[in-house]
């Protein structure tokens, strides 16, 4: 089902059906973010280094010379990430070429090693996020299925490193976690539930496996030597705490935390991240692997993978220490590890010795990561308000629980967009429902809106503004099989209505009434169902609609700018005073 044909529709609605939204200026706080060095510097450096990377690309194979199969997956990933921060489409054709040509080497991006497969799955998920080409997402799902088939009960669970089934290690299982968690946030219905189950199952096993040591660093795997995982030695083998083993888990936990709305996962990720940026660095704070400066074809890639995933964690749980660490490493490698033609070598502290596609990709992860972080800060600029404390995982929490409910808000048009997706409004909408009904039969519910696009989005933030004559309105509402329609009358036979949970408004042209949400960041709106719910187990689907409205004496002209649909959730509602499951 799709709303596409309705998106530019102009609606004429009576004033009685719309709630107003004047700004509560007492709740506004200003914060200025310093950006130094400017984002343009990192972007220019990334551009120079990306052009050098392209010199190693071979169109006939879809791969990069001077490096290996799995490294090329990481090169595609950094290329996608660069395209996102630079807002360019010039590499889309190269990405599409690799999707076809590289399968001459390994059809379906499958080979003997499950970690190799995981790198390609993440690359195609990233490419899907950039291009919305569903073939890329389908390929990631196909790769994941092959990885999942290797799960067994040896050492209590987990997947194997290779199809020889002789070693259960950290990197294969971190990749399995990350791919599963990424897929949770990009699928719907029973498919999403399957990936969520795999994500939770993998993390439960990994967290209990012992691979995370007492220093909050992750060792290489289980068993003293390769081969012992198949026997009795299912304990931490104490081998090298490679930087990439501290990184991939960060991206996986950030995605899973977003899916589960579980701040504890981010806290665990933060412990690992802080351990890495304080224990795996030299006296100047520069990241190293112990194999440097001769890390071979594999180890040369590791540091960039850590930084890339630290950036992902920072998007969901910003920490000044992360930004400072990334800046320091990006600045140092550009100054001390740069050679002719913007080649970058594996030892970021320098001096430059030689470069190849893997060392170039790894260093680019730091440069592109610094660009992304500063792009986010620039997008936020002086920011608006934080209405509630203790919500650091969200940029902004807006309390709309006391908002006067509209008589009826606009409900979904006939045929809403696909659950879990958006049209003209690059937002992922999630719901957090509380199962205990209030005395009036309504239930508390939080709407989580995450910017999944490449550009900042302006969100209306006022909860009370009848005086706005030219405004943008974000309407949040629900559909459910548990609505008690006995107190709600739908009098319009053409345009269906649902009770509205919340409406946020902004006066066009007044920046104080908007919040600029950077890519990857989220806003929480605390609201209620807006209607009485029947006790029992029911599904709910959240809907968001952004519109531009002009108020006249005869009514409101509303142009729908975009919509987003949440993936349905199931919740058991109990009467007030009784516990909820």
CATH number of 398's domain: 2.60.40.10
Please check the confidence at residue 128 and state whether its pLDDT lies above 60: yes
In this predicted structure, which of 57-66, 200-209, 262-271, 388-397 has the lowest mean pLDDT?
388-397
Please check the confidence at residue 218 and state whether its pLDDT lies above 90: yes
Q: According to the model, what pLDDT value does residue 38 have? A: 52
- Mean pLDDT on 531-546: 80
| Percentage of the residues of the chain whose pLDDT score is greater than 70 | 77
pLDDT band at 576 (very low <50, low <70, confident <90, very high): low
Residue 537 forms beta bridges with which residues?
572
192-203 pLDDT, tens digit each: 899 999 999 999
Boundary-marking domain end, from 351, 380, 409: 380
52/191 same-domain check: yes
Please check the confidence at residue 386 and state whether its pLDDT lies above 60: no
Residue 539 forms beta bridges with which residues?
570
pLDDT band at 532 (very low <50, low <70, confident <90, very high): confident
114/255 same-domain check: yes
Q: According to the model, what pLDDT value does residue 540 have? A: 77
Please check the confidence at residue 567 and state whether its pLDDT lies above 80: no
Please check the confidence at residue 165 and state whether its pLDDT lies above 80: yes
**Cis-peptide, bond into residue 293, ω within 30° of zero:** yes
418-441 pLDDT, tens digit each: 445 556 778 888 888 776 777 777
- Mean pLDDT on 243-257: 96
Number of structural domains the chain divides into: 2
Please check the confidence at residue 272 and state whether its pLDDT lies above 70: yes
367/387 same-domain check: no
Residue in 397, 418, 419 with CA at minimum distance from that of residue 522: 397
398/372 same-domain check: no
Please check the confidence at residue 379 and state whether its pLDDT lies above 80: no
pLDDT band at 553 (very low <50, low <70, confident <90, very high): low
- Give the DSSP letter string of 537-558: EEEEEEEEEEEEEEEETTEEEE
CATH of the domain at 348: 1.50.10.20
214 found inside a domain: yes
Residue in 157, 193, 194 with CA at minimum distance from that of residue 173: 157
Boundary-marking domain end, from 360, 380, 400: 380
Q: Strand (E) positions, 481-535?
A: 497-498, 500-507, 514-517, 522-528
Please check the confidence at residue 389 and state whether its pLDDT lies above 50: no
Could you tell me the CA-to-CA distances from 413 to 178, 479, 498, 565, 566 in Å, in that order? Answer: 36, 12, 10, 12, 15
Please check the confidence at residue 216 and state whether its pLDDT lies above 70: yes
Q: According to the model, what pLDDT value does residue 260 have? A: 83
- By residue range, what is the domain housing residue 252? 44-380
156 found inside a domain: yes
- Give the DSSP letter string of 150-178: T--SGGGS---SBTT----BHHHHHHHHH
151/78 same-domain check: yes
Q: According to the model, what pLDDT value does residue 5 have? A: 29
Q: Environment class of residue 163 by beta-carbon count within 10 Å: exposed (0-12), middle (13-18) or buried (19+)?
A: middle
Please check the confidence at residue 554 and state whether its pLDDT lies above 70: no
- Mean pLDDT on 175-188: 93
33 found inside a domain: no
Q: According to the model, what pLDDT value does residue 334 have? A: 97
Q: What SS3 class is residue 286? A: coil
579 found inside a domain: no
In this predicted structure, which of 114-128, 326-340, 360-374, 553-567 has the lowest mean pLDDT?
553-567
Q: According to the model, what pLDDT value does residue 14 have? A: 32
- Higher-pLDDT residue of 2 and 563 is 563
137-149 pLDDT, tens digit each: 999 999 999 999 9
Q: According to the model, what pLDDT value does residue 380 have? A: 40
Alpha carbon distance, N-terminus to C-terminus of the chain = 32
Do the Cβ atoms of 305 and 175 come closer than 8 Å?
Answer: no
- Mean pLDDT on 237-265: 92
456/569 same-domain check: yes
No. of helices (H) and no. of strands (E), the chain: 13, 17
Q: According to the model, what pLDDT value does residue 527 have? A: 82
Residue in 64, 144, 135, 161 with CA at minimum distance from that of residue 110: 144
464/347 same-domain check: no
Residue in 247, 196, 192 with CA at minimum distance from that of residue 218: 247
155/22 same-domain check: no
Please check the confidence at residue 393 and state whether its pLDDT lies above 50: yes
114/248 same-domain check: yes
Average pLDDT over all residues of the chain: 81
pLDDT band at 542 (very low <50, low <70, confident <90, very high): confident
Q: According to the model, what pLDDT value does residue 538 have? A: 78
Boundary-marking domain end, from 329, 360, 380: 380
Q: According to the model, what pLDDT value does residue 430 have? A: 84
374/397 same-domain check: no
Q: Environment class of residue 577 by beta-carbon count within 10 Å: exposed (0-12), middle (13-18) or buried (19+)?
A: exposed
- Mean pLDDT on 370-389: 52
- Mean pLDDT on 391-396: 64
For helices 134-148 and 92-101, what crossing angle results, to 10°?
Answer: 40
What is the residue whose two structure tokens read 């959240």? 542
Do the Cβ atoms of 400 and 388 come closer than 8 Å?
Answer: no
Tell me if the pTM is above 0.75.
Answer: no
34 found inside a domain: no
469-488 pLDDT, tens digit each: 677 888 888 777 776 554 34
37 found inside a domain: no
Q: To 10 degrees, the CA torsion angle through 252, 419, 528, 15?
A: 140
404/361 same-domain check: no
238 found inside a domain: yes
484 found inside a domain: yes
222/250 same-domain check: yes
Distance from chain centroid for Cα 408: 33
């Amino acid at each position: 089902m799709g709303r596409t044909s309705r998106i530019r529709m102009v609606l004429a609605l009576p004033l009685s059906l719309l709630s107003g939204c004047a700004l509560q200026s007492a709740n506004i706080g200003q914060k200025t973010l310093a950006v130094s060095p400017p984002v343009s510097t990192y972007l220019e450096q990334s551009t120079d280094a990306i052009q050098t990377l392209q010199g190693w690309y071979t169109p006939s194979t879809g791969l990069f010379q001077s490096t290996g199969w799995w490294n090329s997956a990481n090169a595609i990933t950094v290329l996608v990430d660069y395209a996102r921060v630079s807002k360019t489409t010039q590499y889309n054709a190269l990405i599409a070429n690799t999707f076809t040509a590289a399968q001459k080497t390994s059809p379906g991006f499958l080979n003997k090693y499950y970690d190799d497969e995981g790198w390609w799955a993440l690359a195609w998920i990233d490419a899907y996020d950039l291009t919305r080409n569903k073939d890329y997402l389908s390929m990631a799902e196909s790769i994941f299925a092959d990885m999942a088939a290797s799960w067994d009960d040896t050492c209590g669970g987990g997947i194997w490193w290779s199809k020889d089934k002789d070693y259960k290690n950290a990197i294969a299982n971190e990749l399995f976690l990350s791919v599963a968690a990424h897929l949770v946030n990009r699928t719907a219905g029973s498919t999403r539930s399957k990936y969520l189950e795999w994500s939770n199952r993998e993390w439960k096993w990994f967290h209990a496996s012992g691979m995370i040591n007492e220093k909050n660093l992750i060792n290489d795997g289980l068993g003293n030597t390769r081969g012992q995982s198949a026997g009795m030695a299912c304990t931490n083998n104490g081998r090298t705490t490679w930087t990439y083993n501290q990184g991939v888990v960060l991206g996986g936990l950030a995605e899973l935390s977003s899916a589960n709305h579980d701040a504890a996962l981010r806290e665990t990720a933060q412990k690992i991240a802080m351990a890495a940026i304080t224990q795996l660095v030299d006296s100047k704070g520069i990241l190293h692997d112990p194999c440097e400066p001769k890390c071979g074809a594999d180890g040369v890639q590791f540091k960039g993978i850590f930084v890339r995933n630290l950036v992902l964690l920072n998007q969901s749980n910003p920490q000044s220490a992360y930004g400072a660490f990334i800046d320091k490493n990006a600045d140092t490698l550009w100054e001390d590890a740069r050679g002719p033609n913007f080649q970058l070598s594996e030892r970021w502290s320098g001096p430059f010795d030689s470069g190849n596609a893997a060392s170039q990709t790894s260093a680019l992860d730091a440069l592109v990561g610094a660009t992304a972080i500063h792009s986010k800060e620039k997008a936020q600029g002086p920011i608006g308000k934080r209405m509630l404390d203790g919500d650091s995982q969200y940029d902004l929490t807006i309390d709309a629980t006391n908002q006067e409910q509209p008589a009826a808000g606009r409900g979904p048009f006939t045929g809403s967009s696909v659950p879990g997706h958006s049209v003209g409004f690059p937002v992922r909408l999630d719901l957090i429902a509380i199962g205990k009904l209030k005395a009036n039969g309504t239930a508390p519910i939080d709407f989580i809106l995450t910017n999944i696009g490449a550009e900042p989005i302006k969100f209306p933030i006022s909860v009370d503004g009848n005086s706005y004559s030219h405004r943008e309105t974000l309407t949040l509402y629900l559909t459910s099989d548990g609505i008690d329609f006995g107190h709600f009358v739908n009098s319009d036979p053409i345009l269906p209505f649902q009770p509205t949970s919340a409406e946020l408004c902004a006066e066009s042209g007044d920046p104080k009434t908007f919040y600029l949400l950077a890519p990857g960041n989220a806003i929480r709106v605390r609201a209620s169902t807006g209607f009485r719910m029947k006790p029992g187990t029911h599904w709910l689907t959240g809907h968001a609609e952004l519109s531009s409205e002009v108020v006249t004496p005869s009514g409101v002209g509303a142009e729908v700018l975009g919509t987003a649909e949440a993936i349905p959730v199931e919740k058991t509602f109990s009467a007030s005073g009784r516990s909820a499951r």
